[in-house]
Amino acid sequence: MKYVLIILFVFLGMRAQAQEFQCAVQVVSSQIQSSNKKVFETLQTSIMEFMNNQKWTNDKFAPEERIDCNIMINISEMISIDEFRGTFQIQARRPVYNTNYYTVLFNHQDQDFHFKYVEFEPLIYNPNNFDSNLIAVLAYYANIVLGLDYDSFKNNGGTPYFQEAERIVNRAQSAREGGWKSFEGQRNRYWLVENILNEYHRPLRQCMYQYHRKGLDRMGDKVEEGRAEVVKALELTRKVHRQRPSSFFTQVFFTAKADELVKIFEESFSMEKGRVVEILLEVDPPNSKKYEKILSSK
């Protein structure tokens, strides 16, 4: 009996210590001619350990509750022995209640990724300082993903994490690397978190909750009821679109959801199909050809 209790306590301890992310990392360096390719393997391991071992919230996550996340860094330029430029792709998803299905929360490519990395130098996050662009970008997107995940379970539940992402942006204003400042473009880290926290985009954050918790999570048991809630969620995106038709946050939302929406509504009845396609063609014109498939499906 004593040994059973010891095993139980060890198991519970592992559950209590489980961090927020289950993150896979891939660093692609095929464009780089270098005698030391091992640095990219070390970088890949360092980022994976940083994302998975860092304690990002005050909540306890069971192993099965960890956020499924994939990061791909494509190195396009080796500026010096410890300085690199490339793209940063991140995708995060969460399980849908009572199903084996995972829904994508975030699927984004950051084109302005410039960083320094010294092989074997530990990546340590200090929330009060801007220590390196690599650490700042990782911490920024970790908090964006956490915010979206929490928003999907509770209305505006992700606010503390979006606010932390905003603080990272503020600390990065003196950084020489790009992507942090308002004047550098309309599709960067500054504008993403600005959009999310801007009052104009509150309906889109409400949509995150309605879409996932009231919609998808219900579809496992009651397909038609859940699908109707997804339609209501999409109505909320109209409010944002009519005030901010070129919203970056709206584009990010539909980049993650366009393919899923087609699958959800291909099985719907004709009146609901017509209603949802009308909304989608208005709020997300770039994916119009995808949405037209909903109407042609039987």
Question: Residue 59: pLDDT band by 50, 70, 90 thresholds?
Answer: very high
- Rg over CA atoms, the chain: 21
Expressed in percent and rounded to 5, the helix, strand and coil fractions of the chain are 55, 15, 25
Give the mean pLDDT of the chain.
93
Q: Could you tell me how far CA 68 lies from the centroid of its own chain? A: 10
| pLDDT classification of 18: cutoffs 50, 70, 90 | low
User: Can you tell me whether residue 189 is helix, strand or coil?
Assistant: helix
- Provide CB contacts within 8 A for 244, sequence distance 6+: 195, 200, 201, 250
Domain spans of the chain, in order of start: 18-197, 204-296
Q: What does the pLDDT look like over 122-177, one tens digit per residue?
A: 999 999 999 999 999 999 999 999 999 999 999 999 999 999 999 999 999 999 99
Question: At residue 26, what are phi and psi to the nearest 5 degrees?
Answer: -130, 125
Which tens digit of pLDDT belongs to each residue from 199-213?
999 999 999 999 999
